[in-house]
Chains A and B, each alone.
Chain A
Amino acid sequence: MNSIYAFVVGPLAWIAWGVFIFGSLYKVVSMYQLAKAKDGSSLHYMSFKYGMRSILHWLNPVGTLGWQSNPYTALVTFVFHLCLVIVPLFLMGHVVLWDQFFGITWPTLPDTIADIMSIVFVACCVYFGLRRFLQRDVRFLTTGKDWIALAIPALTFLFGVLAYHQIGNDKVMLVLHILCGEIMLISIPFSRLSHMLFGFFTRAYMGSEFGGVRHSKDW
C-alpha cells in the first residue's frame, strides 16, 4: 500500500500536474488561435474595462439578476467555489507535502476550519446533485458529463474528509482522495471543469459586448 501511496504522490502527481498545466496552456492558446481565426468579429470588441466591470458585478453574489433570482443556488455556488479554491491551497496537509517535496511553505488554515469547509463543500455537492436530480429544468439539461463534473470534486473532498476523520482505512481513503484530486487536475482542461480556464473570458466577452457596444449592463 505504501508503494501505491508513493506512486500517487510521486509520478502520478507529476503527470497530473503536467497534464493540467500543459493541457490548460494548450487549450487556452489553441482557443485563442481559433478565436483569432474564426471569431474576429467578436474578439475585436474585447475590452478590459468592460470585461472587468462585468466580472466584478458577477463576483457579487447578490449583484446580478441571475443570482438574485436563484438566491440559494447563488449562495451554494459561491460557498462551493470559495471552498474549492481555498481548502486545497491552504490545507496544512497539502502545504506539508509541498514543504516535504519542494521545501516551500506558506501560511495554512487551521485544520478545524479546513475540515468544516470541506464538509460544507461536500454538502454543496449534495445540493447540486439533488438539484440536478429533482429540479425539472436542471434535470432536463443534465448529461453524463455534468454528473462527472460534479462527481470528481465531490469525491475528492469526500475522501479527503474521510481520511481526515479516519473513517475507513486511512491509506485507502488518502490514496482515493489523491487519485480523485489528480483526476480533477487532469480533467480541468478537457471537461466541463474547463470553465475554470475560460469562464472569466466568456464573462469578459459578454461584458465587453454589453458595455462597449450595447451600452447596457449584462447583470
Chain B
Amino acid sequence: MTFDRKIEDAGLTRGVSRLTPQRIEDTLRQVLEGETGAKLKLYAETCMRCGMCSEACHYYMSHDGDPSYSPAGKVHQTMGEILRKDCKVTPEFVYQMAQIAYTECNLCRRCVHYCPLGIDTGYIMSTVRRMCHKLGVTPQYIQDTAHSHAATMNQMWLKDDEWMDTLQWQEDEARDEMPNLRIPLDKEGAEIYYSVIAPEPKFRTQLIYQAAFIMNEAGVDFTMPTSPGWDNSDMCMFSGDFEMMGRLKKIHFESALDLKVKKIVMGECGHAFRSIYDQGNRWDGWDMYPIEVVHSVEFFWELFEAGKIKLREKFHEPITIHDPCNIIRGRGLMEQSRKLAHALCDNVVEMHPNLEHNYCCAAGGGVINCGPPFKNVRMKGNRIKAEQLKATGVKTILAPCHNCHGGLEDLVHYYELGMDIKFFGDLIYDLMEKPEVE
C-alpha cells in the first residue's frame, strides 16, 4: 500500500515530528481500550469487505473508482492497519492516517445507505481522528479553530465585546430598513434563544441581520446571548477533542438555561446541529438535549405555516436544493426543507440523487476547516457533486448549511458552474413583505 498523495501541512508535520513509536503505541492502545468497545470490534470483525460502499463516497466517484478512496478502503488504510499491526505503526503512517481521516472523509455517512451490515464508517473515521488528536497530529487550520474554542469558547477568536458589538452593529444597520428593529440581548424568559456559529459575526454578518429582520417582522419573542456559549459551532467534535466538545455544548446549553428561554433556534448550520443533537449531547450524558433545539429550516417553516411570514413575491427562477448531511441524514428535515423551498420558489428542480441519498458537499466534517492546503482535495474529490449540480441546469442552489455553502461555492468556482448559492434566510429576506420606510 503506497500513499502517493501526501500534502504538506504544518500542523501534521509538527505533530508527527514529536512522535516516538512508544508514544504512538501507547496512545492508540489507550484509545482502543479506553474509549472504544463492542461497536468498533464488531465493525472491524464483521465488515465482509464486499466493497458495496465504494460508490457511496463522492471521493471514490470523483477519483474514477480509485479504491483507496472508498469508505471501506479508507478504514482499511487507517483503523484496519492499526488493528492488523496491533498499534505498532510508524510516525509516517500517522501522518497518512491523519490526512485520510481529516481531509478525505466528511463523516457524511452516505455510505450507511450502502452497507448491508450497518457499519458506521463515520464513527470509525471519527475514532481515527480521536487518535490523531491524542497524538497531537492535527491539520494546522482546524487545530487553530479548536484552540480558539478552548480559549474563547467560540470558533473564530472573537472577543466578548466584539460579539456584542457586532450584534449591535447589525441592529443598527437593520434599523435603516425597519426603524423599530431590535436584537434583544440576554433577555430572560424569551421564547427563543437564537444562536449562530462564530463565522457569522466574523464574515457572514448579513445572516444575523436577516435573521433579526425576519424574526422582528414575524413578531418572534427572541433573544441573543452576549456571554460565552452563544457560539453553537464545534470544530472540536471534528478534530477529535471530545473533552472540548463536551465543554462547548455544556456552556452553550447552560447559557440558554440561564436565560430561562423556551427553546434554542439555531442558524442554518449543519455541523453545529450534529454537535448539539448527536454527539456533544451524548458526551455530556444527555439523551437528547436539556432544552429543545430547533434548526432554522424547521423554524422558518413553522413561521410560514403560522402565517407569520408573508411574501411579496415568490422566487421565479428555477432553483435546486441541496440536502446537508447533518440536518437531512442527521435529523430528517427533508420534508420541511422541501415545503419551505416550494413555499418560497415557483420552480424547484430536484438534483439526483437527493434527500438522504444526496451527495456530500465535501466541505463538512471539518474538511473545509483544514484550510487552504487541502482545498484541492475537496475540489478534485467532489467532481461528482459538480456534475450533479450542473445536470440540474439551474443557476441557483439552496443550501441551508454553512459548510455546504462554503464547499459548494468553491466547487462552483473551480468547475466554473456559474451558479449562485443561497440560504433560506437569504431568500426569505429577499422575498418577504417589508414595511414601508419613510
Contact = CB atoms under 8 A, between A and B. Distances in A.
**Do A and B come from the same complex?**
yes
Interface of A: 31-32, 34-35, 37-39, 41-42, 44, 54, 58, 64-67, 69-70, 73, 77, 131-132, 135-143, 146, 149, 192, 194-195, 198-199, 201-207, 209-210, 213-219
B437 interface: no
Contact of A216 (B56, B68, B119, B332): B332
Nearest to B274: A214
Given A38-B39, A192-B46, 8 more contacts: A69-B52, A132-B49, A135-B51, A141-B76, A194-B46, A202-B118, A206-B118, A210-B329
A143 B49 contact: yes
19 contacts: A35-B39, A38-B37, A65-B56, A66-B113, A67-B116, A137-B70, A137-B72, A137-B73, A138-B49, A146-B48, A195-B46, A203-B118, A205-B118, A206-B112, A210-B329, A213-B278, A214-B329, A216-B356, A217-B356
Contacts of B51: 131, 135, 137-138, 140-141
B334 A137 contact: no
Given A31-B38, A37-B37, A66-B113, A202 B67 contact: no
Majority secondary structure, A binding face: helix
Contact of A44 (B65, B278, B287): B287
Contacts of B42: 31, 198, 201-202
B159 interface: no
Interface in B3-54: 35-39, 41-43, 45-46, 48-54
A196 to B, nearest CB: 9
B363 to A, nearest CB: 20
Contacts of B287: 44
B112 A198 contact: no
Contacts of A66: 52-53, 56, 113-116
B228 interface: no
Contacts of B117: 195, 199, 202-203
Contact of B330 (A64, A146, A214): A214
Given A65-B357, A214-B329, A141 B116 contact: no
B52 A35 contact: no
B49 A142 contact: yes
A218 to B, nearest CB: 5
A45 to B, nearest CB: 8
Interface string B84-126: 1000000000000000000000000000111111111000000
A63 B290 CA distance: 37
Nearest to A41: B282
A138 B70 CA distance: 10
A138 B118 contact: no
Contacts of B338: none
Interface in B261-279: 277-278
B67 A206 contact: no
B434 interface: no
A140 B38 contact: no
A32 B329 CA distance: 27
Contact of A141 (B49, B114, B115, B278): B49
Most chain A CB inside 10 Å of its own CB: which residue of B46, B49, B278, B287: B49
B118 A141 contact: no
A48 to B, nearest CB: 15
B328 interface: yes
Given A38-B38, A137-B70, A214-B332, A73 B50 contact: yes
Nearest to B288: A213
B70 A140 contact: yes
Nearest to B357: A65
Given A136-B65, A137-B54, A216-B328, A203 B73 contact: no
A206 B282 CA distance: 16
A66 B49 CA distance: 14
